[in-house]
Amino acid sequence: MKETIVIYFMGMDGSGKSTLSSYLHDELKNKRYDVKRVWWLEGENSVQRKLLRMIGGSSLLRFDVSPDQAGISALREQRPLLTKIFTAVYPRLVLLEDTICGRWRIWGPKMIAKERILIFDRYIYDVIYSLSQEFGYPPAKRVSLFRRYATLLPVPDKIFLIEVPPDMALSRKKEEMVSAENAKALWGHHQELFRLVDNVFPGRCIVIDNTRDVEIVKKEILEQVLSFVH
């Protein structure tokens, strides 16, 4: 077994990735593997992140909420200089903070036991994609950022896209998604993110249909991981 194995769960809110990644963690723990599960977006609600968004006059980078392009355009017209500065600084600060925090979670004191399996519920690529959506990065820049951060943080060995139709995700997260239109747009975003990740890191991505019986889905994921770690 290699020194560290990284498993990345991706998918829209309501897809079931948190439930399934937690299950995988518990099962591997029961089988006496050294394993840790990390929710990547812990820093999203930090004081500094909220302050930056307040200064920018926007709720940018709210994951699984479609960008309010009309609101962003209005902000740019009302405060062009501030918006220009915010647009230049905010993404860099977010990625810097995520990289530092990510490396700390992986190699910091909490990881002193050197866990061999790391399970991530979302990862740095979710952040890069969300920033690229908000700030209009061209596809080539997204790919460039993916490759750059692959040199700063471990590249996932297994990537699970937890797939459900938008209406099912909406039924589970109605308060956050608000409408069927928003759910459909978010589903499209995650499909595009998956294609980007699969293109940059081919052969690592697995689509998991989570409309099936949950016990069948859990068994499939566990078998996929066990076949890899042995």
Given 3.40.50.300, 3.40.50.2300, 3.40.1280.10, 3.40.1350.10, which CATH number is that of 5-229? 3.40.50.300
Candidates 167, 90, 160; CA nearest to 131 is 90
Candidates 182, 128, 136; CA nearest to 12 is 182
pLDDT at residue number 124 = 92
Counted residue by residue, the chain has a size of 230
Cα separation of 127 and 120, whole Å? 13
pLDDT at residue number 81 = 58
Dihedral, CA of residue 165, residue 168, residue 172 and residue 173, to nearest 10? 50
pLDDT at residue number 177 = 83
| Low pLDDT (below 50) residues in the chain | 1, 59-62, 65, 68-72, 109-113
Q: What is the pLDDT of residues 51-92, one digit of tens each?
A: 666 655 554 444 554 554 444 455 555 555 556 666 677 777
pLDDT at residue number 52 = 62
pLDDT at residue number 10 = 95
pLDDT at residue number 61 = 45
pLDDT at residue number 91 = 78
Q: Which strands form 205-209's sheet, in the order they lie side by side?
A: 35-39, 117-121, 5-10, 158-163, 205-209
pLDDT at residue number 204 = 95
DSSP class of 106: H
